A and B are shown apart, each in its own frame.
Chain A
C-alpha cells in the first residue's frame, strides 16, 4: 500500500510534464492538423538549452528554464515560417514527411553538437528528499510539478480567455471566415506552432534535470505526446491534461506491478486500444476517422 502511494505521487509529478507535452501537441496536431514528429525534438531542445545555460555556461538554473521556453517558441516559429507555411494547402502526408525530415535533422544536430553521451543537469535544490509519511520525493520534483501546473493553467487561460486564444479557435474552426473578420491568419498559425513548441521545450527543460539529457530523448517523447493527444481527443486541452496524468499513472503502475521493461510500451498499448475501441478519445469532441 505504501508503495502504491509512492507510485501515485510519482505519477502525478510525471503527469504534469506529460500534460505540457500533450497540450503543446494538441494545439499543433489537434488544431493545426500537423503530424508533428519534431515535437519530441523541441522537448530535447528545451532540455539541452537548460544544460547549455545552467551547466555549460554556469549561469542560473532558473534563467536556463526561461531561456529554454523562449528559445523553443522561437525555434517553433522558425520551423512554421520556413517549412509549414509554404505547404499549408498540401495534404497531411506531405507535411508529415517534411516533419520527419526536420526531426532527423534536429536530432542529429543535437548529436553532433553535444555528442552521444548523456548529460546530467545539476540543480540548486537540496539533495535531501522531502518525506511526508510513507512517501518521499525530491524538492526538484515538487518544483517541476508546480511549474508544470502553472504552465497548464496559463495555456488554458491563454486559449479560453484571451483575444489571441479566441482568434486561434476561430481560425481553426473556419479559416476563411476568421480571415474575413480581420484575423491575421498567417500570424495565428505561427503563434500556435510557437506556443506548442514552447510548451514542449518547457516539458523537456523540466524533465531534463530529473532524468538525463540524451539526443534520442525526443523519440519516445513524440510518441508519448501522440498517445496523450489521442487519449484526450484532438484539440482538447482539458483532455490532453487528463491524458497526460493517465499516461503517467499507467506507466508508473505498469512499471511497478507488471514489468519495468514494458514501461514505455504502455503508451503504445493505450494508443492502439483507444484508436481501435474508442477512436474519438476518452473525451469525445470531433470526428476521428478519415
Chain B
C-alpha cells in the first residue's frame, strides 16, 4: 500500500491532460506547478535549515530575467563606452543559464546573509529582494523596466535523431513543468536524505551543538541556499517562458508570501508539505473567485495563514501523518485486547 501510493499519484499526474479538457484549469495547474517548485525550494531553507528567507522571490525573478535575457539577447553599456552585447540563444539554454545564475546569486547572498540570524536574516533577505526589484525597475537598458520583457519565446526541445519539438500549447508545458517538478523533488529529497541533509536538520535543531560536533554551519547553510536558489531560478525560467512576458512586479513581496504560505500550510520540513500547500493555494482562487474579489481572496489567505499558525502550527502533512499513525496504533491496541495479535505485530 505504501509503495502503491506514489505510483498512484504519478499515474494521476501523468494522465491529467487526457481527462482535463478545461484550459483554465490546466493553466492553473501549470502555474500551481511552477509555484510549487518555488515553494519546494523555499522549504529546503525554511523547513530543513530553519532559516526564514523572505527574499526568496529574488531568485525566482533572477531566474526569470536571466532566462528571458539569454533567449532575447541584450545590448547594454556597462560603463564609459564598454558594451556587452549578447545574441539570442535557444530558450532551453536560458533555462539552464537561469539555474546557474540563480545558484550563483544564492551563493553570494547566502555568504553575506548568513552572518546574521533570526529576525536580522529575514530583514536582510527582504532587503536583497527589494534591491533586485529596484534594479529590474530602473536598469531600463537591460530589463526594459516597467515596460516589461515581451515576446519571450517558448522552449524548444531537441531530441537526437528525432528532430525538435516546440512547446506551443498548455499540454506540452504541463508535462515540462511536471518533469521539472519531479527533477526538483528528486534533487531535494536526495539532498535532505543524505548526510548533508542530516547536518542541516541538526543545525536547525541546535546550531551551537551542531557546530560543536564539527558541522561547518556556514558551509551547509550556503550549500542549502545555492541549491534552493538554483531550483527557484529554474521555476522562474519556466514562469517567464510560459507567460511569455515578465516585468519587475515578479519581484513583489507577495510572491514570497505566497511561497511561504504554501510551505507553512503544507508543513515545513516535510517533502510533501510544499506540494500539498501548493495545490491548496494554487486552487483556492479557482474555488473562491466566483464570490470573492482579489482583495477579498488575499484577506482570506492572510486570515488562513493566521489560523494555520494557531491551529496547525506544524502544517497539514504532519497533522495527517500523526492522525494516521494514531489510528494504526489504536487499531493494533484493539486487536491486542481482542487477543488476535501479539504486541510487536505491525511494527
A residues at B contact (CB < 8 Å): 29, 33, 35, 83, 86-87, 92-94, 96-98, 100-105, 107-109, 111-112, 219, 223, 226-227, 230, 259, 261-262, 264-265, 267-269, 271-272, 275-276, 279, 288-290
Contacts and interface: CB of A to CB of B under 8 A. Distances in A.
B115 A276 contact: yes
A86 B311 CA distance: 12
B151 interface: no
Interface string B116-141: 11111011101110110011011000
Interface stretch (B153-161, B164-172, B296-304, B339-347): B296-304
B238 interface: no
Contact of A104 (B117, B134, B302): B302
Which 6 A-B pairs give the minimum distances between C-beta atoms? Answer: A104-B302, A101-B305, A261-B138, A268-B127, A105-B302, A101-B306
B29 to A, nearest CB: 24
B305 A104 contact: yes
A272 B127 contact: yes
Contacts of B118: 92-93, 290
A275 to B, nearest CB: 5
A275 B113 CA distance: 9
B253 interface: yes
B128 to A, nearest CB: 7
A226 B118 CA distance: 14
Contacts of B301: 104
Given A104-B257, A272-B112, A276-B115, A97 B305 contact: yes
Contacts of A105: 298-299, 302-303, 306
A261 B310 contact: no
B293 A112 contact: yes
10 contacts: A35-B123, A97-B264, A101-B303, A101-B306, A108-B298, A108-B302, A111-B295, A226-B126, A268-B130, A288-B120
Contact of A112 (B115, B120, B295, B305): B295
Interface of B: 52, 112, 115-120, 122-124, 126-128, 130-131, 134-135, 137-138, 253, 257, 260, 264, 293, 295-296, 298-299, 301-306, 309-310, 313
Contacts of A83: 306
Given A105-B303, A112-B293, A276-B115, 7 more contacts: A102-B302, A108-B295, A230-B123, A261-B137, A268-B134, A272-B112, A288-B120
Given A83-B306, A100-B257, A262-B138, A289 B120 contact: yes
Nearest to B256: A100
Contacts of B305: 97-98, 100-101, 104
Contacts of B299: 104-105, 108-109, 112
B138 A98 contact: no
B115 A279 contact: yes
Contacts of B138: 259, 261-262
Task: Name the residue in A33, A86, A265 with the highest tally of chain B Cβ atoms < 10 Å from its Cβ.
Answer: A265
Given A261-B134, A261-B137, A96 B302 contact: no
A272 B128 contact: yes
Contacts of B137: 261
Q: B127, B130, B257, B301 — which one has the most chain A CB atoms within 10 A of its CB?
A: B127
Given A93-B52, A261-B137, A262-B138, A219 B309 contact: no
B306 A98 contact: yes
B116 A289 contact: yes
Contacts of B134: 261-262, 264-265, 268
A97 B127 contact: no
Contact of A272 (B117, B124, B253): B124
Contact of A279 (B116, B298, B302): B116
A226 to B, nearest CB: 5
Given A111-B295, A265-B134, A94 B120 contact: no
Contacts of A94: 309, 313
Contacts of A272: 112, 124, 127-128, 131
Contacts of B293: 112
A271 B260 contact: no
Given A96-B119, A100-B260, A261-B134, A271 B124 contact: yes
Given A108-B302, A261-B138, A290 B123 contact: no
B139 to A, nearest CB: 9
Given A97-B305, A104-B301, A105-B302, A288 B127 contact: no
Contacts of A92: 118-119
A92 to B, nearest CB: 6
Contacts of A109: 295, 299
A172 to B, nearest CB: 15
B309 A97 contact: yes
B295 A275 contact: no
A112 B313 CA distance: 29
A107 B257 CA distance: 14
Contact of B306 (A35, A102, A276): A102
Nearest to B121: A275
Contacts of B296: 108, 112
A290 B119 CA distance: 9
A230 B120 contact: yes
Between B260, B298, B313, the greatest number of chain A beta carbons within 10 A of the residue's beta carbon is seen for B298
Contacts of B124: 271-272, 275-276
A206 B134 CA distance: 26
B310 to A, nearest CB: 7
A103 B298 CA distance: 10
A111 B254 CA distance: 15
Contacts of B52: 93, 96
Nearest to B304: A101
Given A94-B309, A276-B115, A35 B302 contact: no
